[in-house]
A and B are shown apart, each in its own frame.
Chain A
């Protein structure tokens, strides 16, 4: 297990956002709907919305912290 741990710890922490958001979007959408294509459509939308929100927040904070 420690070998896997070391590989995971060598990845930049920001990259973990992508699978985390994908997992949350998929499971949350699956708990709301039953039909496969509806789940996938809603999950994709939600995934993109969350990433766009995070990217915006990142951009705002980056802009505000410029020159600090």
Chain B
């Protein structure tokens, strides 16, 4: 026995039963969540998977730099609005941190540093390189842990420490001292640039000069949606080419599709349930038509 679907005007409309502000906010912040809150599981999952999929594909393709809010210097009026970000911000909570990160990256404390105020220990990947007699066997790729601490030198504050790990796959421990160059704590890439000189061994040639160069990881909140500076942006667009443009398109599409999802969550589907017969009045009009005879009977009864 086949079940007969209820006529459109008799069907319950979850978007009218749920609180529109709560469901709209949920739908905006986490794509699909508003529909799940209303009990519209299929549509909730469609939006959740598709919009998140598009947004994070774009984020990964663009190495985390596709979504950011950057106002060009000396921008006036509408130039301060980044159209790219306007499209992306539709994706809700995932795109909103960009506004906060744009402020954080411009903070005075966020500076490249050449000294330390507190000890620093972190995993490290990079190279040891240099020149001078006897440097051939000492250079190579480094993977391990770096520990640095500030020291008071005779004239100025300096930095010393150790690297423990592997050089070209073989265990090594290097003493480090001076010449620190450490990138800003908040930056657009997951890796923070670090360079420091290797301490001079007493028995090494006086002209031997080695340095360790590489990256230490930044915590997620220090690189997620942080606006890249111009050289970084030029580097990534040059290196990735059309993949970076594709990353932008994916994130724009995710943001724009979520606007449709929010609208659907608050006001319902734009063309109805989908099984209305052509020529039949749309559900709201049908309900009005159905109410009219009842109202007429009530008016007659009142007149009696």
Contacts and interface: CB of A to CB of B under 8 A. Distances in A.
B54 A23 contact: yes
Interface in A1-24: 1-2, 4-5, 8-9, 13, 16, 19-20, 22-24
Contacts of B275: 35, 38
A34 B44 CA distance: 11
A32 B257 CA distance: 12
A51 interface: no
Given A16-B246, A19-B53, A32 B61 contact: no
B243 A24 contact: no
Tier of interface size on chain A? 20 to 34
A8 B61 contact: yes
Chain B: interface secondary structure?
helix
B46 A1 contact: no
A33 interface: yes
Given A13-B243, A30-B264, A31-B261, A5 B274 contact: no
Interface of B: 40, 42-43, 46-47, 50-51, 53-54, 57, 59-64, 190, 240, 242-243, 246, 249-250, 253, 257, 260-261, 263-264, 268-275
Q: Which 10 A-B pairs have the closest CB atoms?
A: A38-B274, A33-B274, A31-B260, A23-B50, A35-B274, A27-B257, A31-B264, A34-B273, A32-B271, A4-B60
